[in-house]
A and B are shown apart, each in its own frame.
Chain A
């Protein structure tokens, strides 16, 4: 069974601070995806990482994929209240397998 562990489970920071959340897999997937879910809504894809060592930037969000393609991180610079949500990583093989997520709260 492939497992995805995310840490921390909860993160509460002040507006303007930086934050990093982590995703670690017990094995290698074809690709790893990051989603953001707001209360009452379905998850929305942020990014897909495929290659070991890959770094992708999406405005204030930076995604890294470890060289061994088993760990990934999401770094948010100068967080804003609009970044509040549940951040989920998912490994893709013939289906998507999700971690438990990190609940991020950015206080104004």
Chain B
């Protein structure tokens, strides 16, 4: 009964490279959310996906960032041509139902800490 699995836990990229962050939701969960967190700050919403669909990407920068949640396999957050400002912890969460469903819990992964050098 594994929880939300994110990999890698730590990722170092040089400026201009691509970063690919993976998230495997809990079994049976079809709702995936990506959040970004800077040190000593809360979590900033980036994108909400269901299987094969992007529901809300209002928190994603318009350029260089993309996300997918294919029918098979993990959800991927891709950052192209990374810059130093992209350095942060990126968290993925999954839930079996939409958040507005009463008493639905979102389970978080341990995050991927991206460092751009």
Q: Which residues of A contact B (CB under 8 A)?
A: 6, 30-31, 33, 40-45, 48, 50, 86, 88, 92-101, 103
- Give Cα A50–Cα B101 distance, bound, in whole angstroms: 11
- Give Cα A100–Cα B100 distance, bound, in whole angstroms: 21
Within 8 Å by CB of B104, from A42, A88, A92, A98, lies A92
Q: Are A96 and B41 in contact (CB under 8 A)?
A: no
User: Chain B: interface secondary structure?
Assistant: loop
Q: Are A43 and B108 in contact (CB under 8 A)?
A: yes
Q: Are B55 and A96 in contact (CB under 8 A)?
A: no
Residue from B48, B99, B109, B110 with most neighbouring chain A CB atoms (10 Å): B99
- Give Cα A48–Cα B102 distance, bound, in whole angstroms: 9
Q: Known contacts being A42-B110, A96-B93, is A48 close to B103, with CB within 8 Å?
A: yes
B42 within 8 A of A: yes
- Give Cα A54–Cα B44 distance, bound, in whole angstroms: 27
- Give Cα A88–Cα B93 distance, bound, in whole angstroms: 15
Residue from B33, B48, B104 with most neighbouring chain A CB atoms (10 Å): B104
Complex: chain A residue closest to B48, CB-CB: A95
Q: Are B111 and A42 in contact (CB under 8 A)?
A: yes
Q: Are A95 and B103 in contact (CB under 8 A)?
A: no
